[in-house]
Amino acid sequence: MAMATHCSSSSLMFASTSPKSFSSSPKKTPFLGFSMAALSKPSFQLSPLAKTNRTAQIRCQDKAAAYIPLDQRWMFEESEIDGPDIWNETWYPKAADHVNTDKPWYIVDATDLILGRMASTIAIYMRGKNLATYTPSVDMGAFVIVVNAEKVAVSGKKRTQKLYRRHSGRPGGMKVETFDQLQQRIPERIIEHAVRGMLPKGRLGRQLFTHLKVYKGPEHPHEAQKPIELPIRDKRIQKQR
């Protein structure tokens, strides 16, 4: 006996040379390789092929294929009209949707800008949260260039009270310095430290951090990328003198 199973455009064949007829007794159910409960409205039929061989077929009613409605076909190409309804499928960015060479470049002048407010705006554009295609697990953001890093400002008494710590890894190797001291020594590290803390922790965050370019002074080596001015909507980002 040979038995064929058709369900959702797929078929399974089970062949047997036994002359015994198929028995649907609940005591002895043949194993078909899948759960019978997963099939919707199965129909069972036997078609004799020979005296000693029989064919058992179990067919499932296929669900009606989803097509694009008539009032939405103007949004798709001709090759997609008769296909599946891709309008109702969740979109996820492919590799071609976030190529680094196609990403925009922004530039921001840090002169008299509040450190935290500027860093949060930079992190938003580096993450790509300003885009309609934003995906938390994918690098969809842009590159950001920061110039005049030595002129960034802070509010209140942070210039003397904000501390930066680093450790050499040896016992007693803790080094502590204030915001003013670090700004005179390595001003780029202040902005890098602030933006790094606003990025994801892990492999994605390390990849996004490479999109930040911080420079001391007004010059930068990225003129070929044609950076545009970073749009800043925060009205309190500029320090009032």
Angle between helix 115-127 and helix 187-196 axes, rounded to 10 deg: 60
- Residue, of 2 and 188, whose pLDDT is higher: 188
* Model pLDDT, residue 78: 72
Q: Is residue 13 part of a domain?
A: no
What is d(CA 111, CA 152) in angstroms, rounded to the nearest whole number? 5
What is d(CA 36, CA 57) in angstroms, rounded to the nearest whole number? 13
The predicted-structure confidence for 95-140, as pLDDT tens digits, reads as follows 999 999 999 999 999 999 999 999 999 999 999 999 999 999 999 9
188 φ, ψ to 5°? -65, -30
What is d(CA 180, CA 113) in angstroms, rounded to the nearest whole number? 15
Residue 159 CB partners (closer than 8 Å, separation 6+): 178, 179, 180
Residue 120's CATH number: 3.90.1180.10
Residue 11 clears pLDDT 60, i.e. is over it? no
- Which residue is listed with tokens 């002048």? 109
Q: Is residue 136 part of a domain?
A: yes
What is d(CA 73, CA 126) in angstroms, rounded to the nearest whole number? 35
pLDDT band at 21 (very low <50, low <70, confident <90, very high): very low
CB atoms within 10 A of CB 204: 15
Counting the structural domains of the chain, the total is 1
Q: Is residue 64 part of a domain?
A: no
Residue 5 clears pLDDT 50, i.e. is over it? no
Residue 75 clears pLDDT 60, i.e. is over it? yes
The closest of 211, 188, 199 to 110, measured between CA atoms, is 188
The predicted-structure confidence for 160-190, as pLDDT tens digits, reads as follows 999 999 999 999 999 999 999 999 999 999 9
- Residue, of 191 and 10, whose pLDDT is higher: 191
Q: Is residue 206 part of a domain?
A: yes
pLDDT band at 241 (very low <50, low <70, confident <90, very high): confident
* Model pLDDT, residue 90: 80
On the CB side of 216, CA atoms within 13 Å amount to: 9
Mean pLDDT to the nearest integer, 21-37: 46
Residue 27 clears pLDDT 70, i.e. is over it? no
If you compute the radius of gyration of the chain from its CA atoms, what whole number of angstroms results?
32
The closest of 217, 56, 207, 197 to 143, measured between CA atoms, is 207
Predicted TM-score of the model (pTM):
0.64
Weakest-pLDDT range from 9-13, 24-28, 217-221: 9-13
CB atoms within 10 A of CB 125: 20
Domain containing 117 equals 100-229
Q: Is residue 76 part of a domain?
A: no
Contact 106, 143 (CB under 8 A): yes
